[in-house]
Copies of this chain bind each other. A is one copy, B any other.
């Protein structure tokens, strides 16, 4: 169901011709009555934000945070495409608005794919009317939309969570192991909760910190990253406690982020990097990111090598308070170093543990109560293959 699980939403997905091989590459998500509802979004911080990001930002600002639809395409990021790219992104919104009889600035737009390649309006002109006519609240329609935004993903990414009469559903693509055809993380969530823009924006931002922002791959920030949530207000809501909605949005986002990590192109491992005992949370977060983004550490995961010295070296160069004579390191339940030096441990059992697809490495700074965790992947031959060229 995903984006059509919450009451009041419809979706569709199909092939527009942007992808040369004729596979689905365009999706539309809309309110059932085509009326605008509360909307919130988090966009990339990349200063080369793609045309669709620029247009969506402008539209959300113009409407004060309301939207009736989101049009998405895969196969071309419409990034670094100048004025012509902005015209295409705006044109796509205009086409959707004409079909749905809403205002153009009530339509948001997302693109994913190669950067720097001109994107014409014609695939939208040809496809938006068909998408609009196919809009439905069925599972199939939601699946079609989720399928049409994929690039090198191997599976659709969808999530639905329900509590206290409120539903949050979502679809996503990409993120883990960025590759030329998948340079972006996109997610669209819908909920039937009764909530206004300002509050929804706060809840989404908070959810990001415990979901998509916990996922790091190669430290690159895409030109197109976008997470959007629409709230129809059509719930049978039994609680006014916003912590319920907050929890639902966080869980839906975390579920999608986890699916991204597991579908990482070129990766053979999903690794949870945990830093505990840091002087404070900010230090823990810095150290976790440094470890999780280290090519040396990521290669050692691929090689199933519990080379804790590398983990310590990264922890110690993260800009966080650190004392080599206090730190301990563990892989899963195997503690391999205490007080900065290696201790006896069952090497055979640890070697067996390292062969698993899901790993966890924990670094305890023994300095305070700061904690953080991140999900990362291994750096593999296949990652290099994925990213060697655009063809």
Q: Which residues of A contact B (CB under 8 A)?
A: 44-49, 77, 79-82, 84, 114-118, 178, 180, 183, 218-223, 294-296, 299-300, 302-305, 307-310, 312-317, 322-325, 327, 337, 339-342, 379-381, 383-391
Contacts and interface: CB of A to CB of B under 8 A. Distances in A.
Contact of A307 (B180, B295, B312, B322): B180
Contact of A115 (B114, B183, B312, B391): B312
Given A317-B47, A341-B80, A387 B116 contact: no
Contacts of A342: 80, 116-118
Contacts of A81: 341
Per DSSP, chain A at the interface is loop
Contacts of A183: 296, 310, 313
**Copies of this protein in the complex:** 2
A80 B218 CA distance: 27
B116 A341 contact: yes
A115 B313 contact: yes
Nearest to A299: B387
Contact of A340 (B82, B218, B322): B82
B220 A80 contact: no
Contact of A218 (B49, B295, B325): B295
Contacts of A49: 316, 324
B341 A48 contact: no
A309 B51 CA distance: 14
B300 A45 contact: no
Contacts of A77: 309
